[in-house]
Amino acid sequence: MTRYYNDQLLNDITNRLDIVDIVSETVKLTRKGNRYWGLCPFHEEKTSSFSVTPDKNLFYCFGCHAGGNIFTYVMKRDGIEFGEAVEMLAGRAGVQLTLSSKNKKADQIRKNVLEINQAAAQFYNRNLLSNQHQLAYDYMVSRGIKQETIEEFKIGYAMDSWNALEEHLLKKGYAEHYIKISGLIKRSSNDRYYDLFRNRIIFPISQYNGDLLGFGGRVIDDSMPKYLNTPETELYSKRRNLYGLYQAREAVRKENEVLLVEGYMDCVKIHQNGIKNCAASLGTAFTSEQAVLLRRYAERVIILYDGDEAGQRETLRAIDILRDQELNVEIVTLPGGKDPDEYLELYGKEEFLHYIKNNKVTYLEFKINRYINQEKEMNLEGQRKIINSVKMDINSLASEIEKYYYIKTLAKKLRLEENIVYREISSKSRDNRPIAENKSIKYRDNIEYGNYSLEEKILAAMLKSKQIYKKIKSSIGIDFFTKAEYQEFILQYDLIQNLQQMTEIDDEKMMPIIARIEFMMEDIGEIDDIGIDNFIRRVTLVKAKRRQRIIYHKLNILNTEGDFNSLMKFILEIDTILNTTREGGI
């Protein structure tokens, strides 16, 4: 049975979700300007012709001409019907629908756990801000965290109690079954439940859309473990989330750059100082899933892990994971083994930003310096080992200028002749080049892909300007498009004259056409009055020639096969032929 979904509900889902996030789950997207580009998931190609525009929540492939909105994408990707796509995306967006039985259980779990997490966050936050737990609040003050920052990030405190949170949630009516699923309580050896977090500062961890998935807890004394996280649950997976990304996401997109740090406190302190494009990797174990998540929002990553040995070692690992996602990576190492939180507390925002600006290095420079510093003695074996360690990175560079720069840098640091380093780097370079780097990463302008015809340019002009639309319609009608899909589109548009409403329709056939039109309206510049007049004259001339061809064809038939009655009938039909071709069709 077909289910009807009103426009308000569909708009609610669309407004809560970002098409870039949905598409990025299966397509590696790279931002160029205000669009994202990747290899089309719907046909084989070597050069990216698949584009996503988050402003309009639309996608379009200039290769296979697949296109549409967020619902169309999921339908085409998963091979499902419109109603199924709405159900799936509504669940992602947290919009209430009447669900099918197979989804009711999972949706019920998600709904209850999200509510429990929200209630727990409020409980923890009230604890921290109340006078009853001054020790915890004083700890935050000693770390330089302001109350407005505590409120912005909903930071809280789990009291040193066996099951204070469990009792609070049970009193609020939440079932113990769902509290257990949330991971906030654990079963003891004597079969009783106790709170997972006790005597810890609590950092709520939100998904990119704001859903509160889990928590991180930090001790305020010397207890171990220093950090404790929500276990893997139905909702929460540490490897798939980044702390602070929900708060940072708009700034990250605007800057096209993210500052990646290790810990909660580093991230919070940086945000507090007005540097909003910062997220934390929930500890040092950075994952490929987190790299994919970052790639949705920015092309550049500055890694700012702790300056100690553990932080620098993990920086090296994170570099390769980020480079696998074709992100531009730079590294900043703070002096004296300090972390960002400490540095900001000592020197302030301006000095912090000044240090980053003047001390960030490329990922290759970091690797070279790191490998050199690790060698106790710079002998022949050490030199060879360092060159081999960066050989693949240098060979994978697309630019010969960059290759030359790093070979020159390496030769200088190793005190070797450039030609020797060059030969060593170049040896067996084909075997050492990563496969991923052989892929084309050229991203062309949409207009090159679009190859827009004159008719398409006129259509764009008509949709942009009501005055041009009326002028063309009154002069030559709207039945002049040679492509059937544009003819069908303009006839539908003429009825409502609202393109936004048309992007919300449930029409799998029409959505790719509407998506292409939206893209070309953005790509195509304004057409002046002379261009419009020339087009009108061209269409009028074509129509006149068509009328002549129809008449000549009829006359030729009458000349060979006609009689008096046929001739009289044709004379009566001429006026109809002339009127039909005058009103539309070329």
Task: Give the model confidence (pLDDT) of 188-237 as tens digits.
Answer: 878 789 999 999 999 999 987 788 999 999 999 888 888 899 998 878 88
- Among the residue ranges 157-166, 228-237, 484-493, 572-581, the one predicted with the least confidence is 572-581
Q: What are the residues facing 61 on neighbouring strands?
A: 50
Residue 515 pLDDT greater than 60, yes or no? yes
**Over the stretch 337-363, which tens digit does the pLDDT of each residue have?**
888 999 999 999 999 999 999 999 999
Mean pLDDT of 547-552: 73
* Cβ 388 vs Cβ 429: under 8 Å: no
Position 429 scores a pLDDT of 44
Position 256 scores a pLDDT of 86
Contacts of 37 (CB under 8 A, 6+ apart): 29, 30, 31, 48, 49, 50, 51, 52, 443
* Cβ 322 vs Cβ 348: under 8 Å: no
**Residue 361 φ/ψ, nearest 5 degrees:** -130, 160
Q: How sure is the predictor about 489, in pLDDT bands with cuts at 50, 70 and 90?
A: confident
**Over the stretch 24-41, which tens digit does the pLDDT of each residue have?**
988 999 988 889 999 998
Position 155 scores a pLDDT of 97
Dihedral angle computed from the Cα positions of residues 502, 37, 286 and 284, in that order, rounded to the nearest 10 degrees: -90
Mean pLDDT of 172-188: 92
Position 23 scores a pLDDT of 94
From residue 507, give the alpha-carbon distance in Å to each of 14, 212, 500, 513.
16, 35, 14, 10
- Rounded distance, CA 281 to CA 284, Å? 7
Position 219 scores a pLDDT of 94
Dihedral angle computed from the Cα positions of residues 29, 33, 34 and 39, in that order, rounded to the nearest 10 degrees: -20
Q: Count CA atoms closer than 13 A to 133's CA, side-chain side.
A: 23
Q: How sure is the predictor about 435, in pLDDT bands with cuts at 50, 70 and 90?
A: very low
Residue 183 pLDDT greater than 70, yes or no? yes
Position 5 scores a pLDDT of 66
Mean pLDDT of 566-573: 66
List helix spans (H) across 427-465.
429-432, 446-450, 454-464
Mean pLDDT of 326-347: 92
Residue 293 pLDDT greater than 80, yes or no? yes
Residue 551 pLDDT greater than 70, yes or no? yes
* Cβ 181 vs Cβ 64: under 8 Å: no
Contacts of 278 (CB under 8 A, 6+ apart): 244, 248, 258, 259, 260, 261, 267, 270, 271
Position 433 scores a pLDDT of 40
Position 561 scores a pLDDT of 65
Through-space distance between the first and last CA atoms of the chain, rounded to whole angstroms: 42
Q: What percent of the chain has pLDDT over 70?
A: 86
How high does pLDDT run on average in the chain?
Answer: 84
Residue 104 pLDDT greater than 80, yes or no? no
Contacts of 426 (CB under 8 A, 6+ apart): 395
- Among the residue ranges 45-49, 300-304, 422-426, 525-529, the one predicted with the least confidence is 525-529
For residue 399, what are its two tokens?
Answer: 């630019």
Asked, as a colleague might, if the bond just before 54 is cis with ω within 30 of 0, I would say no
Among residues 298, 266, 258, 301, which one has the least CA distance to residue 282?
Answer: 266
Q: Count CA atoms closer than 13 A to 111's CA, side-chain side.
A: 13
Mean pLDDT of 144-163: 95
According to DSSP, residue 208 is labeled T
Higher per-residue pLDDT: 551 or 251: 251
Mean pLDDT of 169-173: 95
Mean pLDDT of 46-54: 90
Mean pLDDT of 516-544: 80
Among residues 292, 250, 301, 288, which one has the least CA distance to residue 271?
Answer: 250
Position 558 scores a pLDDT of 66
Sheet holding 227-229, edge to edge: 156-158, 200-206, 212-219, 227-229
For residue 337, what are its two tokens?
Answer: 């083994």
Q: What percent of the chain has pLDDT over 90?
A: 40
**Over the stretch 111-151, which tens digit does the pLDDT of each residue have?**
899 999 999 999 999 999 998 899 999 999 999 999 999 99
Residue 573 pLDDT greater than 80, yes or no? no
Position 430 scores a pLDDT of 43
Q: What angle do CA 213, 291, 270 make, to 5 degrees?
A: 70
**Residue 175 φ/ψ, nearest 5 degrees:** -70, 140
Residue 3 pLDDT greater than 60, yes or no? no
Contacts of 440 (CB under 8 A, 6+ apart): 46, 47, 48
Q: What are the residues facing 331 on neighbouring strands?
A: 303, 361
Q: How sure is the predictor about 530, in pLDDT bands with cuts at 50, 70 and 90?
A: confident
- Rounded distance, CA 531 to CA 215, Å? 61
Which run of H or E residues covers position 307? none
